[in-house]
Structure 1
Amino acid sequence: AIGGVCYQAFYQRVLSTATDAQAKITCYAAAVFCPILGIPSILIGAVAASTNWNQTSYGSPSPYEEGKAGMILPIALQHLCPFYVSLLGMGALAAAVMSSVDSALLSAASQLGRNIFKNIIYKGASEKLIVMAVKVSVVLCGTAGAGLAMMTSSVHLFWVISSDVLYCMMAPQVICVFYLSRWVNYLGACFGFLVAILLRILIGEPVIGLPDLMPLPWDKIQDDGTRYRLFPFRTAILLITLGTIFLVSRLAECLFEKRKLGSEDETDATCQEMKPMNKEQTNTSSD
């Protein structure tokens, strides 16, 4: 039901809509169509799992036994399909990947160039200087991405981890923007983001060497000492972040209103002291 809420492309499309109503309709449509669009992937995985790879050009052992489950789509296209289907499939796959890559690259570069450089580092930057900063950000982000891809045997791993992070940290922000905007503010958003980062770091991620420091219910310790998580901690972080954003926003709003009312009371008291006396008071004072 959450659709593609944990992917960067979702936020990019939703936040680029003209109105809040269009963004909400996009969310509802994604919740319906994303599971449907995921059916072909399930079918490809089921076919690959039931294939006797000894009877194909791939041979034995199977891709799963070789740890190549994350590459099953190109392997299936190459070894289980006719040549023309494989050619068209590879071309479509490359086009889809490049579309997502350049979209993410330009998005990250524009955020660094405008949101950080223009709004934080140098607010008086000209448009020409901002464009230059975006170009430099493209080079830096591309270099960092290429370096990360060369450090691991599976780019799919980074895709999963980035989805994990976005689901825990960004999904609550987007939900608040579109559905709770009347009750939240930027202070709550900042606190919620920090809480989400802290919790995700404490829970850890073994695949990237991040130690698991926070025990959770239903944890199982395997024979090699690694911790196997059964608790749905990602959804728990999302809910905790939502609660943090709401509570901090309400607290900040109450403190602001209290301070504002206090200032108004002080102003009224000062005005009352400075207020001219009425006729009867003036006569009493004269007497």
Structure 2
Amino acid sequence: MAVNVVGVVGIVIFYILILAIGIWAAFRKKKGSQNRLANDDNGGETENVILAGRSLGLFVGVMTMTATWVGGGYINGTSESTFTSGLVQVQAPWGYALSLTLGGLLFAEKMRSRNYVTMLDPFQEKYGSCVGGLMYIPALLGEIFWSSAILAALGASISVVIDLDNTTAITVSAVIAVSYTFFGGLYSVAYTDVVQLICIFIGLWLTIPFAITDTAVSNIRTTKQKWLGEWDNRYTGVWLDSALLLIFGGIPWQVYFQRVLACKTSKQAKYLSFSASFGCIVMAIPAFLIGAIATATDWSETSYTGHLNGTLPEKDASRVLPLVLQYLTPPAVAFIGLGAVSAAVMSSADSSILSASSMFARNVYKLILRPKATEREIIWVVRLSVFGVGAVATVMALQIQSIYALWYLCSDLVYAVLFPQLCCVIYVKDVNTYGALIGYVIALILRIGGGEVTIGLDPFIKYPYYSNEKKEQLFPFRTLAMLCSFFAIVFVSYFVKFLFNSAYLSKKYDVFRCFSNEHEQETREVAHRNNKENVKLVAVTRI
């Protein structure tokens, strides 16, 4: 097995750098939190861990917010899609940038001003712990698919550098990422994200002039038609569906709201979102250029032996970025580029895995399963959750080879199920549990009914323009599922309210007690918001 010693050294150095910064930040956080908690009688230790004590500065906040989206899946996926489909199909950079802008406009101030701890808090405040906890399912699946994209990208980079098979590379990468997550807490994640973003920016831009001037690369203008792509009117509905999915499906994420809720003020939370939106666009430019360079490369003139008559085979599409870094740049540049990309991807993984684990420990285990759970018990719940999420994400990364496909999957259920629920719980005052449940079920049926080729799920609903030949939906059914869910939540909520308040239905049939004791409902909402016992996840500080 051929080993690129320079590349391996680069990865090891950057791993050590990220790990050292994570440990330093964790130590700094622990020392600072001890000083704060000495004068705090309100049980704010959870906020010190999950939300950095709500003291996240604007600079670090913008850097960690940008880095959260600009991970391995983002840059590797952008290069992959540019190479395979052209710029016309590269939607994620501007789609996620718009999602951050809309998140800042519509949700950041409202969520921060209400002092929530996680994204699921408003649901459990409104609907109760159990029904609100159902929202964890799409949130969890989204985080798993997101983590899978990150691990797949990291595996692709490592497999190119040291010539390991993809399975081994992804598995080893997962072990590293999960182990690093044990240093948990937003302090560690935020400070490693700052280094991550700097490494990506310098590493990728340093690569461009060397790669584009390599003797194996012709003028990228000659392959303009390939890297720009062609518009196919048959797929207009699919394109619009995917675009809306990325824009609105990029909002209801704990990794996003974790940073929003960690800001010092609600105004800062909004400005943080706007700034990160701009950062996402800027960071996608070098990744796009690398994809374009790959289209203009005669790979037979490089030392890469896996090409087919000078072009990259389909199986190498997800490895475009590391292949360009490895074979079209000098060893010293590959040292910086490959090491930086790999370290950046690893640093992104902890955000997603910790996010899913924190929501489970707080919103499911603590509030639903074991309200009286001890702090030591929560320690093991979070630790086991970290391993569980990491394990499932690893399996997904091994099963689905396209990083870009994982990107879309991670937002699918979040868009169809969670986005309309979030809009309603924040903006529609009189929505209730009945509407939320009906909307939830409708979204699941319509979305799952459309099937999913990338995971081998056959459709049982064939929407208009269904292609029997390719077995794919050409109708924007994801957006249909989202809209139907939204209107169902609102309509059912108001209809049920009318039935009970007009005495068409006796309040003894109000099984969720939405109307039988409205004062009790209001008291529950206030209690949920102020009950500090529910947020005591001190255990996480030791992770």
The corresponding residue for 1:277 is none
Instruction: Look up the equivalent residue of 1:247 and give its one-letter code.
Output: F
The corresponding residue for 2:464 is 217
Q: Does 1:56 align with 2:56?
A: no
Deviations 1:80-109 (A, max 9, x none): 223233222222222222222111111222
Instruction: Look up the equivalent residue of 1:51 and give its one-letter code.
Output: T
106 and 92 in structure 1: CA distance in 2 versus 1, 3 angstrom threshold: same
The corresponding residue for 1:175 is 423
Q: 2:288 aligns with which of 35, 42, 51?
A: 42
Q: Does 1:188 align with 2:431?
A: no
1:63 and 1:184 map into 2 onto residues whose CA distance is 55
Check the 8 A contact 2:438/2:489 in 1, yes or no. yes
Cα deviation for residue 194 of structure 1 reads 2.2
Check the 8 A contact 1:77/1:90 in 2, yes or no. yes
Check the 8 A contact 2:318/2:401 in 1, yes or no. no
Q: Which moved more, 1:34-43 or 1:114-123?
A: 34-43
SS at match of 1:198: helix
The corresponding residue for 1:230 is 474
Q: Which moved more, 1:153-162 or 1:75-84?
A: 153-162
Q: 1:17 aligns with which of 240, 260, 265?
A: 260
Q: Does 1:100 align with 2:337?
A: no
1:256 and 1:25 map into 2 onto residues whose CA distance is 43
Q: What is the correspondence of 1:18-33 to structure 2 with a 5 Å cutoff?
A: 18=261
Check the 8 A contact 1:219/1:227 in 2, yes or no. yes
Check the 8 A contact 1:220/1:229 in 2, yes or no. yes
The corresponding residue for 1:205 is 452
Check the 8 A contact 1:114/1:134 in 2, yes or no. no
Cα deviation for residue 31 of structure 1 reads 5.6
1:26 and 1:189 map into 2 onto residues whose CA distance is 30
SS at match of 1:218: coil
1:204 and 1:187 map into 2 onto residues whose CA distance is 27
Check the 8 A contact 2:99/2:251 in 1, yes or no. no
Q: Does 1:248 align with 2:492?
A: yes
Instruction: Look up the equivalent residue of 1:206 and give its one-letter code.
Output: V
The corresponding residue for 1:271 is none
2:453 and 2:350 map into 1 onto residues whose CA distance is 29
Cα deviation for residue 16 of structure 1 reads 4.5
Deviations 1:140-191 (A, max 9, x none): 222223333344545554343222232222232333344x243534443333
Q: 1:121 aligns with which of 362, 365, 369?
A: 369
SS at match of 1:215: coil
Q: 1:79 aligns with which of 324, 327, 332?
A: 327
Q: Give TM-score scaled by structure 1 length.
A: 0.75
Check the 8 A contact 1:14/1:23 in 2, yes or no. no
Cα deviation for residue 44 of structure 1 reads 2.2
Check the 8 A contact 1:168/1:237 in 2, yes or no. yes
Check the 8 A contact 1:192/1:241 in 2, yes or no. yes
Structure with the larger RCO, 1 or 2 (CA within 8 Å, 6+ apart): 2
2:351 and 2:419 map into 1 onto residues whose CA distance is 19
1:221 and 1:176 map into 2 onto residues whose CA distance is 36
2:271 and 2:496 map into 1 onto residues whose CA distance is 31
11 and 140 in structure 1: CA distance in 2 versus 1, 3 angstrom threshold: closer
Cα deviation for residue 48 of structure 1 reads 1.5
Give the count of matched residue pairs: 259
Q: Give TM-score scaled by structure 2 length.
A: 0.42
Check the 8 A contact 1:63/1:69 in 2, yes or no. no
2:478 and 2:485 map into 1 onto residues whose CA distance is 11
Instruction: Look up the equivalent residue of 1:40 and give its one-letter code.
Output: P
Check the 8 A contact 1:14/1:27 in 2, yes or no. no
Gap runs ≥5 in structure 2: 1-97, 101-246, 508-543
139 and 14 in structure 1: CA distance in 2 versus 1, 3 angstrom threshold: closer
Instruction: Look up the equivalent residue of 1:87 and give its one-letter code.
Output: F
Gap runs ≥5 in structure 1: 264-287
Cα deviation for residue 26 of structure 1 reads 5.2
SS at match of 1:123: coil
Q: What is the correspondence of 1:145-184 to structure 2 with a 5 Å cutoff?
A: 145-154=393-402, 157-178=405-426, 180-184=427-431
Instruction: Look up the equivalent residue of 1:248 and give its one-letter code.
Output: V
Q: 2:315 aligns with which of 64, 67, 70?
A: 67
98 and 5 in structure 1: CA distance in 2 versus 1, 3 angstrom threshold: farther
Cα deviation for residue 203 of structure 1 reads 0.3
Q: Which moved more, 1:209-218 or 1:163-172?
A: 163-172
Q: Which moved more, 1:93-102 or 1:32-41?
A: 32-41
Answer with 1 or 2: which has the greater Rg.
1
65 and 116 in structure 1: CA distance in 2 versus 1, 3 angstrom threshold: same
Check the 8 A contact 2:451/2:459 in 1, yes or no. yes
